[in-house]
Amino acid sequence: MSGINTFLDSLGDGWSIYLWLVAGGMIILASIYMIRWAAKNEQFDEDIKYLVFTESDKEKMSPEEYAKSREVLAAQEKSRERVLKTQEVERHQAAE
């Protein structure tokens, strides 16, 4: 431990700002990567709120909201099937 302390003492004043800059840069890069991942994986869908409704909620909703919830559910199911087929193909190719 004294080796680390000696090294840090030999750096002089003002070295810690560079450590903070590197840490901040890494946080920014990680944030950009995660936002890019979310955009590519359909995570910014504002209609997701309609997926919590079921058939039993029909009388509690306006006809437009209910129709929208069924439309969003159907689109989500198609997306799910597409993703599962893609994953199956990838697994099959990896096994060969």
pLDDT digits (tens, 9 = 90+) for 14-70: 888 888 999 999 999 999 999 999 988 878 878 878 888 888 888 888 889 889 989
Band (13; pLDDT cuts 50, 70, 90) = confident
Considering the domain architecture, whether residues 63 and 33 belong to the same structural domain is answered as no
Tally the domains of the chain: 2
What is the predicted pLDDT for the residue at 1?
59
What is the predicted pLDDT for the residue at 6?
83
Considering the domain architecture, whether residues 61 and 40 belong to the same structural domain is answered as no
Q: Which helix (H) or strand (E) holds 34?
A: helix 16-40
> In terms of Cα–Cα distance, which of 35, 33, 37 is closest to 25?
33
Q: 88: domain range?
A: 45-96
Considering the domain architecture, whether residues 40 and 50 belong to the same structural domain is answered as no
Considering the domain architecture, whether residues 95 and 49 belong to the same structural domain is answered as yes
Do the Cβ atoms of 68 and 47 come closer than 8 Å? yes
What is the predicted pLDDT for the residue at 53?
81
What is the predicted pLDDT for the residue at 28?
98
What is the predicted pLDDT for the residue at 85?
93
Considering the domain architecture, whether residues 1 and 26 belong to the same structural domain is answered as yes
Residue range 5-9: average pLDDT?
A: 78
Considering the domain architecture, whether residues 1 and 20 belong to the same structural domain is answered as yes
